[in-house]
Structure 1
Amino acid sequence: MAIFSWPVLKKCTQLACCAGAMVFLAAAPVLAQNAGVEQLKKELLSDTGFLKQLSQKVVRDYLIENPEILLEAQNVLETRMEAQARADQVKAIKEESAKIFHAPDDAVFGNPRGDVTIVEFYDYNCGYCKKSFPTMQALIKKDPNLRFVMKDFPILGQDSVDAHRVARAFQVVMPDKYRQFHEAMMLRPGRANAASAIDVALSLGADKDKMNRALADESLLQPFVTNGEVAYKLRINATPAYIIGHQVVSGAVGTDALVKIIEQERKRGQ
């Protein structure tokens, strides 16, 4: 075991202190520099403007390197928006149920007491409505428990408004022949307007004077306003559009698709 005398130990201690002092003095600039860096970091991290720019750059660089994530985000957003739109439609259908399914001015075809109701928003100048008309006829003929509600929705110009106004007047004057009138208008080629609608009305035996008196009644236009308000709440902006149960179906969807939805609604109601 090595034994140091106090004088020797004292001398070593003095030398060590001197050496430590020299090291500290040599490192002082570095320590000062590190302290400055730490202070700068603190200032930057407390600067919201700097952090915003930094985060924007990080996000931008990431998106440039991974552009496919934009498509993923768009798909997610569209899915959420579609889900929200469906939820809003279901809510609106419940709130406006009486106006949708039981409005007194709407014509009803098929079985008035049917267990499934289809509501159609239509325009006499809508090509897809005319294309879908045979589908409606086939469904009514095939399904004796189907109730079809027709909603005037003249959105394709003044000619459409005029033609639908004549239709409403004819429904007042000759309600028993309204289905024949509607069928004739749907099958008639060319653009529907007041003149063409009056021709159809007179061909079915309507009295001209009675038609003129009915047409003078401004209240004939009220169903158009009501149907427009309902359509707005349901986000319906084109024809044809159908409401079946709590679903809104747009476009000429075809017989098979409608039959499937009718079956689903019938099962849901059981």
Structure 2
Amino acid sequence: MSTVTLTPGVDVRRAADRFSTQWGWLDSKHSFSFGRHHDPRNTHHGMLLVNNDDVVDPDTGFDTHPHRDMEIVTWVVRGSLVHQDSSGHSGVIYPGLAQRMSAGTGILHSEKNDSWRFDAAHGEAAREPVHFVQMWVLPDEAGVTPGYQQQEVDAELLSGGLVPVASGMPQHAGDTAISIHNRYAALHAARPGAGTSLELPDAPFLHLFVTDGAVDLEGVGELGAGDAVRFTATGGQRLTASRDAEVLVWEMHATIPG
């Protein structure tokens, strides 16, 4: 982690301009370099290394695979996702529930579409894709014990304002947020209703991602689902929902060197 002299800036990244991975069962859009997609000018923003916007078909998903020394936060937009890992943790992630996996010294996990639900209208089980955003943040230190945490924040989101959902910042200790091993970073979520406004945090680095609906951002204009904005040395802008929306905001007070 490092603190540096920053040049203020607001960098708008449109949904259509993201890297894309299509695997038949997977439609994945990457905000940063990921897998075979590499751009040395687009490897991270602040502490955020990965912001993958994934849609996974029913009865499919990511088979068991490894991670190490990474804080991985998953946020489901629609549907539900089953997590299982080699530390014995398992859970179903659904809208309004934040989940964090600390890879630490090393962990194996799988993520599958949990699409079974009963469709009363047709008298049968219905299947639907799961849409989720997965975000990776570098931890403060390597080699922590792998861990898992999830927390429902659906009730708090009814306010329409920003709710801390995952944080390592001291001021969020004991708050709604689940913990991450990074004292410089916090993820906030909000579901502003049409016409509702909120103010973004003021921090050296911010990353705004629209998961659903549409918003109007002060000084930028209209943003739709999949659009993102990277703020450097600026913040405090007003955001107003053009229609019912959901946004994810990373507040970060340091960046990765290099």
Report the structure, 1 or 2, having the larger strand content: 2
Same fold (TM over 0.5): no
Larger Rg: 1
Coarse TM-score class (shorter-chain normalised) = under 0.3
Report the structure, 1 or 2, having the larger helix content: 1
Give TM-score scaled by structure 2 length: 0.24
